Amino acid sequence: MNLKDIIHNSLQGSKRANSDSIINTEFSDALESASNFLVETFQKKGKVLLAGNGGSAADSQHIAAEFMGRLNFDRDPLPAIALTANTSNLTCIANDYGYEHIFSRQAHALANENDSLIVYSTSGKSPNILKLVKEARKRVKYIISFTGSNKKDLANYSDVVLSVNSDKTTRIQEIHAIAGHIICECVEETLFGNMKN
């Protein structure tokens, strides 16, 4: 396959995944629910914890930064912590307890009853993410999960699951990025929309 074919096929695949999400009312409803949960979290002085592996770790840090910084306009910061970002925590916990514990141990220390947890697992099977949602279920108010077509395990512990109808990691992550921005925009507009201009 030549480069033009690779590029064309990739862009077409991305277009299909995006179109599927647009017409999927379950996905749109999940975006609305997740946005409402986060608005309530921030209104009740809670914070958001986020976690994921690999590219999903970057998604966690990206969305935490959108809340702490800004998305579309200047406003007060919103408390969000990516559990993926502190390398000393990650390596200490992985070394002393095992990689499966890297997020759940941090949540044990940081999570409060008015908080929300956002997790990313494109496979829906990441052991450290599944351990996190199981253990955090009794510690946080809401759990929002981003995944691909395999949502069964995460759904057992989540208040809402944003499931992309794909098994291809790149397509799933592309939609996760769009969904994260939409949720941030909904939260920002709801809490601070009157501050614009």
The pTM of the full predicted model, rounded to 2 decimals, is 0.93
**At 113, which helix (H) or strand (E)?**
none
Structural contact between residues 134 and 106, judged by C-beta atoms closer than 8 angstroms: no
Other C-beta atoms lying within 10 Å of the C-beta of residue 69: 12
State the residue range of the domain holding 190: 3-195
CB atoms near residue 40 (< 10 Å) = 14
CATH of the domain at 169: 3.40.50.10490
Residue-wise pLDDT tens digits, 80-132: 999 999 999 999 999 999 999 999 999 999 999 999 999 999 999 999 999 99
Whether 159 has a pLDDT exceeding 90, the answer reads yes
In degrees to the nearest 10, what's the CA dihedral of 81, 51, 39, 183? Answer: 120
80 bridge partner residues? 48
Let me know: does 31 contact 149? Beta carbons within 8 Å. no
Q: Report the domain count for the chain.
A: 1
